[in-house]
Amino acid sequence: MKKILMITTGGTIAGLNSGFGIAPKLVGERLKPAIEGIEVTALDLFSIDSTDIMPIHWRRMYNTINENLPLYDGIVILHGTDTMAYTGAVLAFTVETDKPIVLTGSMLPYDAADSDAPGNIEQAVRTAAGDEYKGVHLAFAGRVINGADIIKVSGFEKDAFRSYSGFVPRKKYKFPERNGMFPAVVRLTPFTYGLDIMSVAQDRAGIVVETYGAGGIPDNEITLVLSELSKTMPVIVTTPCLGGTDLGRYEVGRRALDVGAVDADKRSTECAAAEMWLSTNQ
């Protein structure tokens, strides 16, 4: 019989209506499925909305995973959907194992009518008990996505996630002993000033600039600011568009390369930010 540890962290999947909106309340024993041939053990790690996820929570997940991996055939993590991509990337870059570590969540609370939670939990547990997927993945609405390649595309549809580009990490990082310095993440718009970028970059590990389309930066003071910043910190250019960036495609992208920015290529904004945090705090 396969043994699976199901770690709960809160999120909509554990939600109940508090009178002020949905908040995580249900514990793992209430959520764990009964599947023939699979023994599921529940462990309640914490219970928060994933909007409240911070590096301290990733540390607790990372430590709990590594402490329990020798005892189980796979691990499932129930998690809120809003920061799923960040958590997936951090764990994918840091957890070293050939066993399945499977994230899942839901768009409706477990006890809601027509909830997707029971189905997603069962999919995640079966994926964690199987032999096809190794390392960190998301199992959600019938899809299985690499942990560093998760992107949420809907706040309402049950099929809420996609694979961003097919990216698979080829490098692992040690989980930082201390939180260290965090990256800044800026979304470029026609209303963005260079001073906006400069102000958020102060005392940061680096800056991730989410631009448009295949990637590029405007021919104004933003170019000068990024040129200066790239002399002292990593500057990575990403895009919200599925498939990733290609800074060599357009002149505006080559402009970013010329000032020292790095092409995120197949990495999403969440993935690039997670890797920047990890790589600059080794």
Catalytic (active-site) positions:
12, 81-82, 152, 250
**Among 104, 111, 110, 56, which residue's Cα sits nearest to residue 80?**
104
| Cα 126 to Cα 146: distance, rounded to the nearest angstrom | 16
**Among 153, 126, 136, which residue's Cα sits nearest to residue 241?**
153
| Cα 137 to Cα 251: distance, rounded to the nearest angstrom | 36
Helix (H, G, I), strand (E, B) or coil at 269: helix
Residue 211 CB-half CA count within 13 A: 29
**Among 69, 14, 8, 87, which residue's Cα sits nearest to residue 270?**
87
| Cα 264 to Cα 272: distance, rounded to the nearest angstrom | 7
